[in-house]
Amino acid sequence: MQGIRVPRESPAGWLIDAPAKVNVCLDVLPKRPDGFHGIRTLLCPVRLCDTLVVRPGPADTGTIKVSVRALNGSVNAAAVPTDDNNLVSRALRAVFDQVGRKPDCRVTINKRIPAQAGLGGGSSDAAAAIVAANHIWRLGLTDSEMLSVAAQVGSDVPGQLSGRANLCEGRGELVTPAAVPAGLPCVIAKPRAGLSTAEVFRRCSPSAEPAGESATGRVAMLLQALQAGSWRKLPGLVTNQLQAAAMELCDELRRLAAAFSQLPFVAHQMTGSGSAYFGLCRNHHQAKQAAAWLRARQAAWVVATCTT
């Protein structure tokens, strides 16, 4: 898998970063026979990340202990499960089941990515756990096998295995690398309120547009505009079909979007199913200024970052 991350060894244990993501475009397609909506999304990781510390135990006892440490005020560590409801725990059990072994490890998730934000923190943590386990225990899983394990854990996990930009289709498990330039400045903000992904999807109106050349062409145009810095083309190409439904559910999100509209972003929209919102900037100075303006005027968590 091109560009896949490798954990690094330290006195505290094996460390691996789990980047947040923004959805630069997100189309929702009609429900599939399995009951899931189809999606088409350009998923871009950013420098904001959680960091997992993985410490292997002395024996294969089947024990996984997960703890969570909040590294900023946007994260409520007490609200993050530490049992098998945590995606990291589920990912580790799935990857060891794949090879017929029992894990024995402790994992500390150092959280910087807020939950219920559409930033993919939990899914990215799970993807990082799969990559770390394969490397640390020398399990020998191929890229396709890791993708298969990731799809079992959650729809958003396969697209975050590589830590690079991807076009994700199907339920999110069909992953194609996308050449999004690293270092594109952006600002991400989140209101205090979170949103339920399931509720946002229930309220959204799926696209009637069939997958095919027109859809592929729009994504290609978006990628070309990002690569060339054709900022004037981006507002019509940066879209999120879940945004209208999310705004019906969250007044704070509407107010945040209105605040973004007062600033000279190249393009801006909600990421994922919300409630985080992001804007692309022409340069890092503009991103820092916009973030400072939003912090001063909005009761929201704000960060200036960039694509990786």
Is position 236 annotated in a ligand binding site?
no
Omega cis (within 30) before 275: yes
Please tell me whether 119 is known to bind a ligand. Answer: yes
241 is in an annotated binding site: no
The annotation status of 114 as a binding-site residue, yes or no, is: yes
Check: CB of residue 155 under 8 Å from CB of residue 33.
no
Bridge partner residues of 26 (DSSP): 41, 240
- Give me the count of residues in the chain: 308
What span, in angstroms and rounded, lies between the C-alpha atoms of 139 and 91? 14
117 labelled as ligand-binding? yes
State the CB neighbour count (10 A cutoff) for residue 237: 19
CA 259 to chain centre: 23
Angle between helices 121-136 and 143-153 (to 10 degrees): 140
Q: Which listed residue (21, 50, 111, 125) is catalytic? A: 21
Q: Is 214 annotated as a binding residue?
A: no
Q: Where are the beta strands (DSSP E) in 32-149?
A: 37-56, 63-70, 104-111
On whether 120 is known to bind a ligand per the annotation, the reply is yes
DSSP notation for 6-40: --EEETTEEEEEEEEEEEEEEEEEEEPTTSPEEEE
21 classed as catalytic:
yes
Residue corresponding to tokens 């630069």? 24
Strands 104-111 and 63-70: parallel
In the set 27, 104, 156, 190, the catalytic residue is 156
Check if 156 is active-site: yes
Q: For residue 219, give both structure tokens.
A: 């994504």
161 in a known ligand binding site = no
Which 8-state DSSP code applies to residue 213? H
116 is in an annotated binding site: yes
Q: Cα–Cα distance between 48 and 112 in angstroms, integer?
A: 7
* Annotation: binding site: 114-124
What are the residue numbers of the active site? 21, 156
* Annotation: binding site for ATP: 114-124
